[in-house]
Amino acid sequence: MPTREWVTMTWEEARDLDRPRAVAILPAGAIEAHGPHLPLETDIVIADAMARAGAARLEAVGYLPILLPPLAYTAAPFAAGFAGTISVLPATVTALLLDIARALTRERFIALAVANAHLDPAHLGSISAAVAAARSEGLLPVVAPDVSRKPWAPRLGEEFRSGACHAGRYEGSIVMAARPDAVRETIRRALPPNPASLSDAIRAGKATFEEAGGSRAYFGWPADATATEGMATIATLGDILAEAVTAALSDRKSA
């Protein structure tokens, strides 16, 4: 069955949903530079693919997943020096996520799952703040697995684990699988590797792609990307989202 989308329903269809099983899924990405070969919406494409894969797995175990429109505007200071990037304050993102959680609590959803594909530290911090604030307010659980950390990161491939994974093989493969028309193939195939690790740069106090060694806003091995790998990675991301949601709801029931 195709993923149910909140915005395509009528208000009466939304009213009549089976609320005790309803999990809202919010794809979260950014509008930012992703090399000369991938579109500004790359993170949104990845987040949407993750959300849909996770929804299929949640439905298979008895939940009713509902896909929300994506969160596209967020904090993206690392890419702010490149044309096309739109970055907003982290506090804005936290406030928006918290308002969404409040609205979904009123709508009697049992959880809000954030399928996040944007790994800028400022953005991750804004999500963590929203998760904590929702918990302190007694709202529905906001489940946002941080794929850059254990236990999730080891499942996402060698390039991802190296930290050299912005618009490289990892992200390029997913876009090739989900939106092949969006990839500038001639440019992608000709790009040399950039093994500079973003995660190492962040730990060293670097604050931009340029400082981290990404003068063209990419890191990793873009020429090695394949749609086959992308399909496998999307499946893994879906597993991660579904596992995080089921674990959070199981913990809530047992509390």
Residue 173 belongs to a domain with what CATH number? 3.40.50.10310
Give me the phi and psi of 185, to 5 degrees please.
Answer: -65, -45
The full DSSP string for 108-164 is: T-SEEEEEE----HHHHHHHHHHHHHHHHHT-S-EE---TTSTTTGGGS-HHHHHT-
Report which of residues 79 and 253 the model is more confident about: 79
Is the distance from CB of 2 to CB of 92 less than 8 angstroms?
Answer: no
pLDDT tier at 253, thresholds 50, 70, 90: low
The pLDDT tens digits for 101-127 are 999 999 999 999 999 999 999 999 999
Q: Which two tokens stand for residue 103?
A: 């609205």
Between β-strands 22-28 and 111-116, what pairing exists: parallel, antiparallel or unpaired?
A: parallel
Residues 174-210: pLDDT tens digits?
999 999 999 999 999 999 999 999 999 999 999 999 9
Peptide bond into 69 cis (omega under 30): no
Mean pLDDT of the chain: 96
Q: How far apart are the first and last CA of the chain?
A: 33
Q: What tens digit of pLDDT does each residue of 49-67 get?
A: 999 999 999 999 999 999 9
pTM of the predicted model as reported, rounded to 2 decimal places = 0.96
User: In this predicted model, what pLDDT tens digit does every residue of 157-176 receive, in sequence order?
Assistant: 999 999 999 999 999 999 99
Q: Quick one: pLDDT at residue 110?
A: 97
Residue 172 CA neighbour count, 13 Å, CB half: 29
Q: Where in the sequence is the domain holding 20, given as residue range(s)?
A: 4-254
**CA 200, CA 206: separation in Å to the nearest integer?**
9
Task: Please name which of 104, 123, 120 lies closest in space to residue 112, comparing C-alpha atoms.
Answer: 104
Residue-level pLDDT at 251: 72
Cis omega before residue 151 (within 30°)? yes
**Structurally, how many domains does the chain consist of?**
1
Q: Which two tokens stand for residue 237?
A: 């991301």
pLDDT-derived band at 225 (thresholds 50, 70, 90) equals: very high
